[in-house]
A = this chain, B = another copy of it.
Amino acid sequence: MREVPEPELTCWEPPTYTVDANGKVVGGAPGPIHNWGRWGDSDQRGTANLLTAERAVEAAALVRTGKHFALGLPIGGLAAPSHRGEPLHLFQIATGDAILTGAGTDGADDYLVMALQGTTQLDGLGHVGRGNLMYNGFWSGLVTAGTGARRLGVHHLATGLVGRGVVLDVARAQGVPWLEPGFPITAALLDGTAEAQGVQVRPGDILFVRTGTVTHWYERFGSRTAPFQRLGDETARRDLLDGPEAGLAWDTVAWLHDHDVAVLGVDNLAVECRPAQPGHTWIDFHVAALRDLGLPLAEVLDLDGLATDCAQDGVWEGQCAVSVLPVVGAVGSPINPLFLK
């Protein structure tokens, strides 16, 4: 057999901290901007707590035309962006099989093998930590392959994320179909976009920021129905996936906290700007949002249809319902958010 390189090893020393019976790292501390303890020491839902019943009532009142928009990308059928390989859809039995087998009823069952982060999806609060700390001081070691997420599982968000949805179409406000890869969306730009659109971001909002990245993707690959691995122009595809990406700048962490955003969704792969801005590394934003704020992040959204409608009628708000699959102990879930106007 051909030789396979051995993974490199380094010396290992055990951590110096201990973990208490509540799963908290003793002495663990968040970054400067955070929500730890805000909803109690045992809270596992973070800013989803901002989605109160009162706000749900107000949000429902925003439904005026009955138009609704689904914000998930198709799974299969079109080339789609993913770092993790496309979902695999297979049949255990196909409806047409009955024609060949003589079964009296034609029935089908199908299976899906998917990375829970492999298409339009929500990052749960167990998805990213740093310094062995996750949201609210929970220990990263609570998430193992064998146990799943013993705390902060995404099923804690599956009771329904419902509230006012707001769209900030930064690309459109800049007059471009998509922001250039690497473009950092600053807090000032969010404010400017909101002002230009005549909409306010309020506490408890489910906020969608449009970069145009998915637009860009489909502009180049959208007419192709072959899956990723069959595309000819792979180099270009890799540029889109692994190269720079327009996204939120570091200073939006404070802005999101100040505005008490409940859920943040972006039409790019990883919400934050890549490469990171000077003084930061990629994933810093994830750490600040997920670990410190407890802010669930929705990624790979398709905001094009919704944003076009908002631009036409000038209404950038609506009722939003995000249904999370209650996979117990998971760190993410595929989603297909519904936005009603």
- Total copies of this chain within the assembly: 4
A66 B95 Cβ-Cβ under 8 A: no
> Which B residues lie within 8 Å of A116 (CB)?
109-112
Q: Which of B73, B77, B225, B229 has a CB less than 8 Å from the CB of A228? A: B229
Q: Is A237 an interface residue (CB 8 A)?
A: yes
Q: Is A327 an interface residue (CB 8 A)?
A: yes
The interface bits of chain A over 108-131 (1 if a CB of B lies within 8 angstroms of the residue's CB, else 0) are 111111111100000000111111
> Which B residues lie within 8 Å of A21 (CB)?
9-11
A102 B10 Cβ-Cβ under 8 A: yes
In the assembled complex, how far is the CB of residue A194 from the closest CB belonging to chain B, in whole angstroms?
24
The interface bits of chain A over 133-161 (1 if a CB of B lies within 8 angstroms of the residue's CB, else 0) are 11000011111111111110001001110
- Also in contact, A99 and B61, with CB within 8 A (given A1-B302, A106-B129, A326-B72): no
Number of interface residues of A (CB under 8 A): 141
Interface residues of A in 46-86 (CB under 8 A from B): 52-57, 60-61, 63-70, 72-78, 83-85
B144 A94 Cβ-Cβ under 8 A: yes
A327 B87 Cβ-Cβ under 8 A: yes
Q: Which residues on A are within 8 Å of B, measured CB to CB?
A: 1-2, 4-7, 9-23, 52-57, 60-61, 63-70, 72-78, 83-85, 87-117, 126-134, 139-151, 155, 158-160, 162, 218, 222, 225, 228-229, 232-235, 237-238, 283, 286-287, 302, 304-305, 319, 321-332, 334-338, 340
